[in-house]
Amino acid sequence: MTGKPKIALYWCSSCGGCEESVIDLAEDLLTVTAAVDIVFWPVALDFKYKDVVAMNDGEITATLINGAIRMGEQEHMAKMLRKKSRLVIAHGSCAHLGGVVGLANFYRREDLLSRLYQEVPTINNPQGILPQLETIESGRKVKLPDFHDTVKTLDQVVEVDYTIPGCPPTPELIKEAMMMVLEDRLPPRGSVLAEKKALCDTCPRRDSKPDKLRITEFKRVYETEWDPEKCFLAEGIICLGPATRGGCNARCINANMPCRGCFGPTDDVRDQGAKSSSFLASIIDVTDKEALKKIVDAIPDPGGLFYRYGLASSILKGKMTRGRS
Amino acid sequence: MAERIGVYVCECGPNIKDAMDLDEVVTFVQGLENVVLTKAFGLLCAQEGQELIGKDIKEHDLTRVVIAACSPKEHEKTFRQCLEKAGLNPFLLQIANIREQCAWVVKDKSLATDKAKAIIHAAVRRVAYHEPLEVKEIACQPHALVVGAGMAGISAALTLAQKNRKVYLVEKLPCIGGKVACYEDVFPSLECASCILDPILDEVLHNEHIEILTLTEVQEVLGFYGNFLVKVTKKARFVDTETCIGCGACLETCPVTVKNEYNEGLDERKAIYIPYAGALPNVAAIDKKHCLRWQGEACSACREACPFGSITYEDTDQVRQLRVGAIVLATGFDLFDPARAPQYGYGKVEDVYTSLEFERLVNSTGPTQGKIVLRNGQVPEKIALVHCVGSRSGKFHEYCSTVCCMYLLKFAHQVTRQLSGVSILGFYSDLCLPGKEAQGFFNKISQEGNIQWLHMKEPDSIEITQADGKTLIRFTDVHGSPREVTSDMVVLAPAMEGARDAGAMAQIFDISQGAGEGFFAEENSQIAPVSTAIEGIFIAGCAQGPKDIQSSVAQGQAAAGRILSRLVPGEKLALEPVTAEVDEDLCCGCKLCVGLCSYKAITCDNLKNNVAINKVLCRGCGTCAAACPSGAIKAHHFTDTEVSEEIRGLLRQG
């Protein structure tokens, strides 16, 4: 063991994209690994759970956890890593806001399980067995982690010191976060390590935005062709850039697609989805009832659009049912 | 947060005391975080109540006060003053309305007690986050601009001038007086219009505080209440107003003849003209569009004829910047074009006239010197008066134009007085005769001449055509039976609409217009009928909606009153302290708020890529703060924290 700072990386309920974003550091990964000791990274390196448990509390300088918390095992790991780490950094949209996996909060656990294990046409489960916490297999008791009722963000389970936002975060932001840790120049605790202002501030199409924005029709991207130089909102295409923290290098915009909000809200906004629907509603330039209905109907899945990344962290958090935790 | 909150629960006589268990409420409040003092009191708004609060603030070092009593609409001001007197910022107060929203509406005593606790808890949670707000003042410009020199405009101008305010009275026509100056008589007094109007116009013309700018139009308005900068263009008249005495010598020699719009196109005028005999100021003007000199010809007939050397071909349009504190828009009305409803035969049937055409026809300075004759010069024996043309109609305007019944009665009187034996047909579906004079006027005129009232089924159950040299009127009567009559002359009463250029005016001044009818939208039709959403811009007369002379004068004077009461020379203008503010460090320049502000208070700095809210214009409505997608706009006194704490308190979350 050297005296270098220790870093751990862990994944919870996620797609693996955040892990990939670390790999996307490319040569910079070498710079980072030269400066630190990676002590735990299940997706890439062969350290064991017991190795970490054996460490002293606070021995790890920083742990990056990506993914939301849905399983008992994830909660356990998060809590264990919290104990062992000086800093816990939420890495990516799922850890930060619940992410796409958080959309599952629109359904109850029972509905998800029965759909997945009993109803989908491709399932072959004639006895209709649902996942169990324990089972006897060849005379041995096998345990499975439990499946929580609700998807939670990392900071709903453990204290989080910093957040690197994005689905996935850019390699630049990951590298900068690492350097902040190494060079001891971290901003106040709780900060989201990206821009302070919303995306419009750095949007390459900023100058094409009209001074008075008014929308009479929402167009979906498959329905229309748009000017690749012009502000999406000015073209009637929903873009959540104004309600989304900047710092993503406008990746989607540069790929000629509107912002979907993965960096989450800015510091002073409590609920990104509510803000998004509120700002869009305020620029609808229609008063006639029929026309209003038409324009609202042009958004078939408002939950999926406005809360794509932020449902688990929103005020309502999902479909409310009695007794839900 | 360690605030020292004092909570006062008002018994409001038996109003609150009897509706709930006050002891339980007080005990509950005493246990709330930050609450250091809780008192129930008989009548807080009384002198003793106010004194008690003031004394407690000082003795107990209170930093916040909650008054659980009546609606803030009733006594918020009283208690704010009470805090201020005791040296506490007045905005560190929160009213918990446990009377209107609780005692008066919840019958069950224990439910009312619970609800009062929740409401007070909400106020206690909220007030801890209140910020002290400062009432700022700015210097203001006491001068005013009045646009439109009709009855409403001149009434406003004269009222303002009485208090020695400088008034710029802008009129796009060469003369002042508006539509009323074109009438022979006015209802219901049947007095001669010019006898009433001319002395007033003289007063306007000779008032040292009023600067009349005829042939002038507003181009641009910048600034805000107390400090508007208005750009106007005064078109060249080509006649020196100082030396011209309106002798008319030039008119006789001018070789160009065009339709006279001031007589509703019923006769002709010259390219140099005085709109109508008696127009004020009595000065000629050259119509550049038709004068030969601007068609490339070397005519100077008028200059040669003028005995006073008043013709000034070298005149040019002048742009002026006017600094004023407030603006009155009194741009009047135009008539619905009856040709849009072909059933009335207007423009096709020879002797169908609009009411304004008839006003000129019957006017002694009009095209026939007041003789009521048909276009062929013959005297009509039968005249039809048609009510509600385009008014009260599903197709055009839903509203009643309010004055048509009255002026058609006036026409009936004028016709009867001039043509003995004439018969009058009144086509109506309903009569609008409200107020203290109209019914009496109707009764009087109905008995005066030979009027036959023809009651139609609907306002537009009528068709007017030309048949065998006669004007044929087919209509459906009130019983649903088709009927027809002939008439020599038809006078239509088309709906009143906002002036044709009202749309352009609305854009320049950034005020709203009603859809379709063109009238300017008032701030509140009941309690703020002459103000608009833009502070300092007032509307008066028919620009706001159809009305008679009396109401136009009243509105003009009302608008002037609003200005006189607030824009006092030497006094500063107190600004609304509850406003919105932009955090420049958070604003991403998305500009969504700019178009949402009803008060034009938000401007965008494209270079700095952020927006700014003008404190003078902002009225704290909160629209921008709600819309701001990145939380960069904060609505003072209604911050997210204040509101969410209030909700938490209401839901009694810890």
Give yes or no: residues A215 and A114 share one domain.
no
Take residue B611 and report the two structure tokens written for it: 């927006």
Say what the pLDDT of residue B222 is. 84
| CB atoms A213 and B585 under 8 Å | no
Taking CA–CA distances from B595, the nearest residue in chain A reads: A212
Say what the pLDDT of residue A288 is. 85
| CB atoms A243 and B585 under 8 Å | no
Take residue B322 and report the two structure tokens written for it: 């006017």
Take residue A123 and report the two structure tokens written for it: 């399932």
In B260-404 the beta strands, taken as DSSP E runs, fall at: 268-270, 272-273, 285-286, 318-324, 326-329, 333-335, 352-354, 382-389
User: What is the rounded average pLDDT of the residues B503-525?
Assistant: 90
B489 HSE (CA, 13 A, CB side): 26
Same fold, B144-234+317-331+499-566 and B333-497: yes
Give yes or no: residues A54 and A171 share one domain.
yes
Take residue B30 and report the two structure tokens written for it: 């005493």
- Residue A130 in any domain: the answer is yes
Taking CA–CA distances from A207, the nearest residue in chain B reads: B606
Give yes or no: residues A163 and A85 share one domain.
yes
Chain A hits for B640, CB-CB cut-off 8 Å, are 268, 270
B563 touches A: beta carbon within 8 Å: no
Say what the pLDDT of residue B34 is. 96
Q: Which of B20, B136, B10 is nearest to B66 (CA)?
A: B10
Identify which of A198, A265, A267 has the shortest CB distance to residue B590: A198
- Residue A322 in any domain: the answer is no
Domain-by-domain residue ranges, chain B? 5-133, 144-234+317-331+499-566, 249-305, 333-497, 576-636
Which of A197, A260, A280 to mutate against chain B (most B CBs within 10 Å)? A197
Alpha-carbon distance B496 to B230, whole Å?
Answer: 28
Say what the pLDDT of residue B599 is. 80
CATH of the structural domain B576-636, one choice from 3.40.50.300, 3.90.245.10, 2.40.160.60, 3.30.70.20: 3.30.70.20
| Percentage of chain A lying above the pLDDT 70 cut | 98
B595 touches A: beta carbon within 8 Å: yes
Q: Which CATH architecture has domain B144-234+317-331+499-566?
A: 3-Layer(bba) Sandwich (3.50)
Identify which of A209, A210, A269 has the shortest CB distance to residue B631: A269
Biggest alpha carbon–alpha carbon distance for chain B: 97
Rg (C-alpha) for chain B, rounded Å, is 32
Instruction: Calculate the average pLDDT of chain B.
Output: 94
| CB atoms B644 and A206 under 8 Å | no
Contacts of B241 (CB under 8 A, 6+ apart): B281, B283
| CB atoms B631 and A266 under 8 Å | yes
Say what the pLDDT of residue A190 is. 96
| CB atoms B591 and A211 under 8 Å | yes
- Residues B86, B87, B88, B93: what is their CA dihedral angle, to the nearest 10 degrees? 30
User: What is the rounded average pLDDT of the residues B357-366?
Assistant: 95
Give yes or no: residues A232 and A155 share one domain.
no
Residue B50 — φ and ψ, nearest 5°? Answer: -65, -40
pLDDT by residue (tens digit) across B517-552? 899 999 988 999 999 988 899 999 999 999 999 999
User: What is the rounded average pLDDT of the residues B166-184?
Assistant: 96
In A153-233 the beta strands, taken as DSSP E runs, fall at: 162-164
Which domain covers residue A213, as residue numbers? 199-313
Taking CA–CA distances from B592, the nearest residue in chain A reads: A213
Chain A hits for B595, CB-CB cut-off 8 Å, are 211-214, 283
Say what the pLDDT of residue A115 is. 94
Say what the pLDDT of residue B598 is. 80
Chain B hits for A269, CB-CB cut-off 8 Å, are 629-631
- Inter-chain CB pairs, A–B, below 8 Å: 86
User: What is the rounded average pLDDT of the residues B178-204?
Assistant: 94
B590 touches A: beta carbon within 8 Å: yes
User: What is the rounded average pLDDT of the residues B448-466?
Assistant: 94
Give yes or no: residues A175 and A54 share one domain.
yes
Alpha-carbon distance A307 to A98, whole Å?
Answer: 10
Q: What is the CATH number of domain B5-133?
A: 3.40.50
Identify which of B588, B596, B640 has the shortest CB distance to residue A199: B588
Give yes or no: residues A38 and A159 share one domain.
yes
pLDDT by residue (tens digit) across B274-330? 998 889 999 999 999 999 999 999 999 999 999 999 999 999 999 999 999 999 999
Question: Which residue is listed with tokens 């006073």?
Answer: B308
Are A98 and A157 in contact by the 8 Å Cβ rule? The answer is no
Interface predicted TM-score (ipTM): 0.88
| CB atoms A200 and B640 under 8 Å | no
Contacts 24+ apart (CB under 8 A), B252-257: B252/B305, B253/B301, B253/B302, B253/B304, B253/B305, B254/B301, B254/B302, B255/B292, B255/B299, B255/B301, B256/B290, B256/B291, B256/B292
B630 touches A: beta carbon within 8 Å: yes
pLDDT by residue (tens digit) across A270-293? 999 999 999 999 999 888 899 999
Instruction: End-to-end CA distance of chain B: give it in Å, rounded.
Output: 14
Checking if the pLDDT of A1 tops 60, the result is no
Checking if the pLDDT of A2 tops 60, the result is no
> Confidence band (pLDDT; 50, 70, 90) for B469?
confident
User: What is the rounded average pLDDT of the residues B90-102?
Assistant: 97
pLDDT by residue (tens digit) across A186-228? 999 999 999 999 999 999 999 998 888 889 999 998 888 999 9
- Residue A58 in any domain: the answer is yes
Give yes or no: residues A234 and A285 share one domain.
yes
- Residue A77 in any domain: the answer is yes
- Residue A324 in any domain: the answer is no
| Percentage of chain B lying above the pLDDT 90 cut | 87
Say what the pLDDT of residue A324 is. 58
- Residue A188 in any domain: the answer is no
Class of domain B333-497: alpha beta
Q: Which of B378, B380, B387 is nearest to B420 (CA)?
A: B380
Say what the pLDDT of residue B467 is. 84
Taking CA–CA distances from B515, the nearest residue in chain A reads: A287
Identify which of B586, B594, B604 has the shortest CB distance to residue A268: B586
Assign residue A68 the CATH number of its domain.
Answer: 3.40.50.700
The secondary element (H helix, E strand) that includes residue B206 is helix B193-206
CA A322 to chain centre: 26
| Percentage of chain B lying above the pLDDT 70 cut | 100
pLDDT by residue (tens digit) across B584-599? 999 999 999 998 888 8
Residue B620: count of CB within 10 angstroms of its CB: 18
Give yes or no: residues A266 and A248 share one domain.
yes
> Confidence band (pLDDT; 50, 70, 90) for A320?
confident
Give yes or no: residues A18 and A134 share one domain.
no
Which of B510, B588, B598, B634 to mutate against chain A (most A CBs within 10 Å)? B588
Give yes or no: residues A254 and A228 share one domain.
yes
Shortest alpha-carbon distance between residue B588 and chain A (Å): 4
Contacts of B444 (CB under 8 A, 6+ apart): none
Which of A195, A196, A200, A203 to mutate against chain B (most B CBs within 10 Å)? A200
Give yes or no: residues A133 and A258 share one domain.
no
Chain B hits for A265, CB-CB cut-off 8 Å, are 630-631
> Confidence band (pLDDT; 50, 70, 90) for B653?
low
> Confidence band (pLDDT; 50, 70, 90) for B482?
very high
B585 touches A: beta carbon within 8 Å: yes
Instruction: End-to-end CA distance of chain A: give it in Å, rounded.
Output: 43
> Confidence band (pLDDT; 50, 70, 90) for B617?
confident
Checking if the pLDDT of B474 tops 90, the result is yes
Alpha-carbon distance B556 to A40, whole Å?
Answer: 81
Say what the pLDDT of residue B223 is. 83
Give yes or no: residues A207 and A265 share one domain.
yes
Which of A201, A240, A283, A288 to mutate against chain B (most B CBs within 10 Å)? A201
Are A147 and A70 in contact by the 8 Å Cβ rule? The answer is yes
Identify which of B609, B630, B644 has the shortest CB distance to residue A269: B630
B653 touches A: beta carbon within 8 Å: no
Chain A hits for B628, CB-CB cut-off 8 Å, are 279
Q: Which of B48, B47, B41 is nearest to B66 (CA)?
A: B41
Identify which of B583, B588, B626 has the shortest CB distance to residue A246: B588
Say what the pLDDT of residue A321 is. 66
Chain B hits for A200, CB-CB cut-off 8 Å, are 588-590
| Count of structural domains, chain A | 3
- Residue A192 in any domain: the answer is no
